[in-house]
Structure 1
């Protein structure tokens, strides 16, 4: 390693250390770059990626400039009017930026907001955008347990403090409730879950993947953890047959319909016992896609799918109503009757 490389790594380590102290002191904010405008003067927020867009949408939909991902009509119909009509702009973070410096500057944002896994690469990317544009940039940690602090702090930063406190309180209540449920099941073997992503169901998350957080937080055992830790990975049908999970979760209703009639998949315990559950994806994924605050709506939905014996009859009905109430408080729209029914029996599309 040459001297320049060593100094670059040292500078990045210092940045990470400073960001960690910031995170501990300020809740969900991991790093800030540039001088932030006063909260009352933030009216134009550019979301660098999908988790940040959902965060801005639920806190202050009128301040979000546009979407980093393409939104279909069904998703837009479940969002408050200011957010429902916003254009697709592209993203700065994630798998390749699609927004150039000139385009970003032409949008004149008061703040660039980013959320997700905080690592050296993510931090250096945020700093680079700030250096190139001079636009203030805030990076918040996107982990599930950070959502209450994230909602509270970002709400304060963008001039939506009251809304931030309201949703932070709801988020904390949801996490406490799910945490208590997971603890109550410590004397039982946790349900062994396979989370099937993609049309063929052969993509899943390894141990520690942010995409698996909701499932693991609820106390389930991720069978793919046996393949190691990291992010998303491709697996074989042979591997799934060897894992033989108790529960199969997906967000693809078409995939769930296909596997029920597939000879190989019907050899899997979860399929054979009818424990295939389809999490809703509207307006955003309830378990993942993106791995943002949208998952807070999915957590109470998930509990009776993992622990059906603990939620018979009216108890499950109360939890499903709480899920619908949570949805409305986050998005400002009632959960449609068709989606209520689909979410109740796990056939949501």
Structure 2
């Protein structure tokens, strides 16, 4: 939900704001003027935020994928002095650690038991803190300390899986002043989506011939949680011609039992990087209380772990244009005959100026279970 309040993230400005408010329902805004040292941006809570014009110390909280967006927009992680422990774990198992090793210098100790430790955060001397828009209490707490905080929203009404990334890229360009790289990534994603649309249209795929797909979001011996509508998996499937078997039953993420899985009986299962489960775990039926051998996707060996490049490919990340091609090929291997290894190498060469080895490409497409831990 978009906030109707506009805050200026300095202690003095906060005092003025509170002095001018008689109740919480009054709409407050203030026209800000940038200086030679600052600029004004509008974040995704529709708040005006005053930030330094030149940034070299930024911290990223519960907006887990954003560090990868920052990298692709700027070609640098040297400015990132702090990231969430979950983000750090993903980064430490990613190719980004090889491309931009500075990401491993980022601190994580400002997050304790899922909460921001203000004292530890201040010790990092952040110029700007990036937070997920749904954590409005955290945003408010940070405002009260005078830390400039930019809220980024993961929610979207669009079925376009690139919508969130494109918004973040555009805003990051405004924040950093680097706009050419974001524009190139956005254009690449749009071109890949057009290729998929044209190919599927030319093939004239009938609804009954589309693959029925399930996205396994979280999984363990005691949990089977599936993603449905209003989740990234549903958007990826919509963009690549798959039918989401959970769409009619689940809004968001929901725990289900094996009986529900049998009823859906998906042709394909995609496993996110937010769970340690691997395709072989389902193939080998290693979970004592779950029998996956009756599921078509398992029988046909069509269970796929989503890749992890500079970040996990399931949520918004710099590799999102590649995710479109990867999933489209798994959904329709007979229609999309490109070499995915070469696609990944070419993308990294053009946009990250990094030449991947065959081993690194293999690692991207087959991430370890440890990458889901934090």
Q: Which band: TM-score by shorter chain?
A: 0.7 to 0.9
1:257 correspondence with 2:280: yes
Of 296, 299, 310, the residue aligned with 1:269 is: 296
Match of 1:234 among 255, 271, 288: 255
2:49 corresponds to which of 34, 41, 46: 34
Write out aligned runs for 1:93-132 (5 A).
97-115=114-132, 121-122=134-135, 124-125=136-137, 127-132=139-144
| Aligned residue among 153, 178, 190 for 2:171 | 153
Q: If the length of structure 2 is used for normalisation, what is the TM-score?
A: 0.70
CA distance in 1, matches of 2:188, 2:151: 22
For 1:174, what is the secondary structure of its paired residue?
A: helix
Q: 1:219: which partner in 2?
A: 241
> Alignment partner of 1:224: what SS?
coil
Aligned partner of 1:47 in structure 2 is 60
What's the CA shift string for 1:24-67, capped at 9, x where partnerless? xx9985533432222xx122111123122222233331211122
In the alignment, what sits opposite 2:15? none
Of Structure 1 and Structure 2, the greater helix share is in: 1
The answer for unaligned runs of 5 or more in structure 2 is: 1-22, 29-40, 157-161, 369-374
Q: 1:338 aligns with which of 359, 362, 367?
A: 359
Distance in 2 (CA, whole Å) between partners of 1:295 and 1:138 is 23
**Pairwise CA distance, 1:229:** 1.0
Q: Which of residues 219, 222, 226 is equivalent to 1:204?
A: 226
Deviation at 1:154, TM superposition (A): 0.7
Q: Distance in 1 between matches of 2:249 and 2:166?
A: 31
Rounded to whole Å, the distance in 2 between the matches of 1:139 and 1:183 is 38
Q: 1:160 aligns to what SS in structure 2?
A: coil
What secondary structure is seen at the aligned counterpart in 2 of 1:203? strand
> 1: CA distance between counterparts of 2:322 and 2:99?
14
Residue 333 (structure 2) aligned to one of 281, 288, 308: 308
State the alpha-carbon separation in 1 of the partners of residues 244 and 81 from structure 2: 37
Indicate the structure (1 or 2) with the bigger Cα radius of gyration. Answer: 2
> Which residue of the partner structure matches residue 23 of structure 1?
none
Query: Of the candidates 71, 83, 88, which is equivalent to residue 103 of structure 2?
Result: 83
Distance 1:126 1:57, change over 3 A: farther
1:80, 1:332 within 8 Å by CA — same for their partners in 2? no
Q: Secondary structure at the match of 2:46?
A: strand
Alpha-carbon distance in structure 2 between the residues aligned to 1:133 and 1:178: 48
Q: What residue ranges of structure 1 are gaps of 5+ in the alignment?
A: 1-6, 16-25
Normalising by structure 1, we get a TM-score of 0.75
Local SS of the residue matching 2:65 = helix
Give 1:125-140 correspondences, 5 Å limit.
125=137, 127-140=139-152
